[in-house]
Amino acid sequence: MRAILDEQNVIKANEQFWEQMLAMKLETISDSEHLSACSKHMRGSVGIKGAWEGCIEVRMECGLAYEAAAAMMMQPVETVAELDVADALKEIANMIGGILKSALPRPTSMNVPEFAMEAEGFSIPCGAGEGCLAVAFQHVSGAMMVRVVELGNEI
């Protein structure tokens, strides 16, 4: 990856969001290249254009997505609807993406965040690949992956 991003940047951005914004602690999965998650998960992503072009994705298992949405809304998890989770995941991608964007070459701009419900599971296909960085995290409610993919290195 030509950008000045490494695993520590992703870990710090993740900690900053989860701990400061939601008072939730996620543990980094040290053997990230072997992460695989359930067959259904949710994805929030933001595209970045400018001196560096690519995308930042946040993929998480449904249980964690609902817990995060509940924490953001300060409501019990059982009151959270899928639309609330979609909004929360877009905001999580936007916040983590914004933190990571500050380490990228300038000028850059971020697109409006997107949400998708994915039918298949996720795994880390690009842990050490050129142009792609992925870091996995675990919470009692489920696994999560933050992936930074430089344009031209999509998988």
Tens-place pLDDT, residues 23-74: 999 999 876 555 555 668 999 999 999 999 999 999 999 999 999 999 999 9
**3-state SS assignment for residue 1:** coil
Using CA atoms, how far apart are residues 81 and 112, in angstroms rounded to an integer? 22
15's CB contacts (< 8 A; 6+ apart) are 26
Coarse DSSP helix, strand, coil percentages of the chain, rounded to the nearest 5 percent? 35, 30, 35
- pLDDT for 24 equals 94
What the block records as the tokens of 60 is: 């998480």
pTM over 0.75: yes
Domain ranges in the chain are 7-150
DSSP state of 18: I
**CATH class belonging to 7-150:** alpha beta
